[in-house]
Amino acid sequence: MERQAARIAVFLSGGGSNLQALIDGSKAGILSAKIVWVVSSSAKAYGLTRAENEGIETFVFKPKKYPSPESAADDLLNKLQERKIGYIALAGYLKLLPSIVVAAYSKCIVNVHPALLPKYGGKGMYGHHVHEAVLASGDKESGVTVHLVDEIFDHGKILDQVRVPVLPEDTPDTLAARVLEQEHKLYPRALNKLIRDEYGVNNE
């Protein structure tokens, strides 16, 4: 399979502020790679508009529109290969990737999660659910995790983390905003380090 490290696909389901951070990081030279394809699980995701505003090709991936899950997975992998995508960055993508894609892009798929994994991860732990659980726990800190993606939600090797304090007056919204700010800083830098193999994942 021909891949080019500098060609990235971003998968999302929602607002796409992390997509924007990757695009901006790429323009600023923090991320030495280009976002060339944006895939959304929803036609309504604002992330698609952000991509279109930047002239980036988009695709809405709906496995149920295919005759079988296998044909959907094959089509997605073909499309990634046709575009010579080297890395996949999940940015608020609420679905699991098909296993053949995970296998073809082993150690080349990353996700950003708004908590300090392995705490507060797994199915159903997204958006405000994460921050509500952190506040309910009484933890004094939360944070951001960038990790490799495997076939289990929020499970692959942790590459990088940033800690964020939890304040006594925090609501899920205020905590989410403080964490999101750090996501935008960490994600382009962490993806850049992965591409340059600075985490040493290829030696494992």
Q: Which residue is nearest to ligand GRF (CB)?
A: 92
Cα 38–chain centre separation:
11
Q: Which is nearer to ligand GRF, 33 or 131 (CB)?
A: 131
Q: Are 101 and 76 in contact (CB under 8 A)?
A: yes
Unique residue bearing structure tokens 């890395």: 87
Q: Does 143 bind ligand GRF (CB under 6 A)?
A: no
Between CA 35 and CA 124 the distance in angstroms is 28
From the list 113, 146, 182, 192, which residue makes contact with ligand GRF (rule: CB under 6 A)? 113
- Per-residue binding string, ligand GRF, 174-203, x by CB under 6 A, is ------x--x--------------------
Q: Does 18 bind ligand GRF (CB under 6 A)?
A: yes
Q: Does 172 bind ligand GRF (CB under 6 A)?
A: no
Within 45-64, which residues bind ligand GRF (CB under 6 A)? Answer: 47
Q: Are 135 and 176 in contact (CB under 8 A)?
A: no
DSSP element (H, E) containing 16 = none
Q: Which residues contact 59 (CB under 8 A, 6 or more apart)?
A: 37, 38, 39, 40, 79
Q: Which is nearer to ligand GRF, 37 or 203 (CB)?
A: 37
Burial of 154 (0-12, 13-18, 19+ CB in 10 A): buried
Q: Which is nearer to ligand GRF, 92 or 188 (CB)?
A: 92
Q: Does 112 bind ligand GRF (CB under 6 A)?
A: yes
Active site residue 113: yes
Residue numbers of the site for ligand GRF (CB under 6 A)? 12, 14-18, 47, 91-92, 112-114, 126, 180, 183
**What residues are labeled active site?**
113
